[in-house]
Chains A and B, each alone.
Chain A
Amino acid sequence: MPFNASRRLKVAAAAGLAFLHLPIVLIFLYAFTTEERSFAFPPPGLTAQWFAVAWARSDIWPPLILSLQVACVSTGVALILGTLISAAMAGAKFWGRESLSLLVVLPIALPGVVTGIALRSAIPMLHLDFSWITIVLGHATFCIVIVYNNAVARLRRLSGAILEASADLGANAFQTFRHVLLPNLGTALLAGGMLAFALSFDEVIVTTFTAGTGAASKTLPIWMLDELIRPRQRPVTNVVAIVVFATTFLPILAAYYLTRDTSDSPIASK
């Protein structure tokens, strides 16, 4: 190292990291508080009862299951479409390549409220009813870019000639896909899928526009949003927040370990 970090820089960097993490610790703490009507600090007492209460609450389970369903289907769609785009990008240069990569990024480059209101105004025009399928429509759209970004970061490091080498050695297109492209893109696609799942599972901005109003299209984040605006048993909301946090945290960690050796940081490209 050419210079040593000054004490001030160290403190500022540590404070910045702490600012990012301490609030999440508080979510955990408040799940154990005995005070259910306010966010009094320090909590007057600690109890584990809210986990049992949350488990027994019948209004939490359907949103949880719906969110898992939406996240799984959206991830599946995003994996298929993202893989197709990256396979096309792996091949020769073609006209419109730049425009296509811009089109893929657009759904996350524009504010979520734009994607939301756009779908909201288009869905009735297509005579579609709002349901879990319209939620998937929105989620998959912005999940494609996550899968795609991961795959493209990996492709950039691969020697382009390995696809030609495979054909040169006698492999047909399907053999090249199965024996060369998939093994090399595999972990990147898996990591992209993990991140897409995490993103879809806790998405709320687009979802509020595409979900419709019925209880049957209430995802877990929408349930949480309702609790934030009209709180009932506050610690129960904390328990659900922990569940949401864990459900997104584990895939993110997995994605990190899947792409860790690869020097580039594809998961940085949300």
Chain B
Amino acid sequence: MSPAIFPATTIASKLTGVFWRHPKLLLGLLLTPPLLWLGVIYLGSLAALLVQSFYSFDDFSGLVIPEFTLTTYAKLASPANLSIILRTLLMALAVTLASAIIAFPVAYYAARYALGRWKAVFYLGVMLPLWSSYLVKVYAFKLILAKEGIVTWAASATHTDWLLNAALALPFVGGASLSSSYLGTFIVFCYVWLPYMILPMQAAIERVPVGLLEASSDLGATARQTFWTVTLPLALPGVIAGSIFTFSLTLGDYIIPQIIGNSASFIGMAVYQLQGTAGNVPLAAAFAVIPILIMLAYLTLARKAGAFDAL
């Protein structure tokens, strides 16, 4: 006769019994190392950042004064700094809109029409640029947008120089060449963040039941009406999910505007330069708090719009 209860013979078996009697113990053992890392190193750093933003910086001695003050935030509100923030926000907005427009046909085709082998091609075709080296992608555009580069060559080969020159002659966004204008910065941002927009969009469109589209056309809607009244509203959570990435990434980037652009400052550049050469960590920290606040507000709005289901 076999027993109804087996004895715990090994240490592993006894420990399992201890874990079973004290479920919190196992959980605690599993979570202690990651919580130490993320909680102490990461959250601790964020807290340090927040604390530093309430310190001030003495311009004459070049030292940080570790006393609570709001003067750093007051400096942040100076016209020069506000224009940096506004410029960054406008760029993030423009990049998000343009990415959504470029991404839509790719996402729509991949979600609705690509089958089997082509589905894999589209998937990899978006996934590889997403994951491949950021710096290599930025570098590629330095080649492309350079004055002597392929864009200028292609424009003269197709006799569309006038179009390129007209774009560069535009006030504000234009410049001497694409690689030294807002237009160039904008193009590179769109390129680098595009895959982040395509993937959630595709996922959202895939979730729109084909039956709904058929129902819409059954009820007499034209293809255009179906698109505007059925497909787009249902795909919107995906667009918002994608925009979280394009917006957040543009807000914080400081390498693209440094390499391609007219050397006007963006939030990321301000953070990098202030902490680096100037050593003004408090102001850099205060600048960094801006994208955090913007993203928290954006995430709250996106959650309300149901975008997290599409992530």
Interface residues of A (CB under 8 A from B): 1-5, 9-10, 12-13, 15-17, 19-21, 23-24, 26-27, 30, 38-42, 77, 80-82, 84-85, 87-88, 91-92, 94, 100, 103-104, 106-107, 109-122, 125, 137, 140-141, 144, 167, 170, 172-175, 195, 198-199, 201-205, 208-209, 221, 224-225, 228-229, 237-238, 241, 244-245, 248-249, 252-253, 256, 260, 265, 267-270
Contact = CB atoms under 8 A, between A and B. Distances in A.
B138 A24 contact: no
A94 B253 CA distance: 37
B133 A225 contact: no
Contacts of B170: none
Given A106-B42, A114-B292, A117-B271, A5 B112 contact: yes
Contacts of A21: 125, 129
A38 B143 CA distance: 9
B37 A30 contact: no
B125 A256 contact: no
A125 B48 contact: yes
B210 interface: yes
Given A106-B42, A249-B128, A268-B199, A27 B143 contact: yes
B38 A144 contact: yes
A268 B191 contact: no
B258 A42 contact: no
Contacts of B102: 16, 19
Nearest to B134: A202
Contacts, number: 286
Interface SS, A side = helix
Contacts of A167: 16
B176 interface: no
Contacts of B299: 109
B149 to A, nearest CB: 5
B149 A41 contact: yes
A103 B12 CA distance: 32
A111 B248 contact: yes
Interface of B: 6, 10, 12-13, 15-16, 19, 23-24, 26-27, 30-31, 33-35, 37-39, 41-46, 48-49, 52, 102-103, 105-106, 108-110, 112-113, 115, 120, 122-144, 146, 148-150, 152-153, 191, 194-196, 198-199, 203, 210, 213-214, 223, 244, 248-249, 251-255, 258-259, 267-268, 271-272, 275, 281, 284-285, 288, 291-292, 295, 299, 311
Given A12-B106, A109-B244, A121-B52, 14 more contacts: A1-B113, A15-B105, A17-B126, A81-B34, A109-B295, A109-B299, A113-B252, A113-B272, A113-B288, A122-B45, A173-B12, A209-B275, A238-B139, A245-B136
Contact of A205 (B33, B45, B120, B255): B255
A110 B248 contact: yes
A3 B214 CA distance: 9
A126 B91 CA distance: 36
A23 B124 contact: no
Contacts of A13: 105-106, 108-110
A138 to B, nearest CB: 9
Contact of B31 (A80, A84, A106, A205): A84
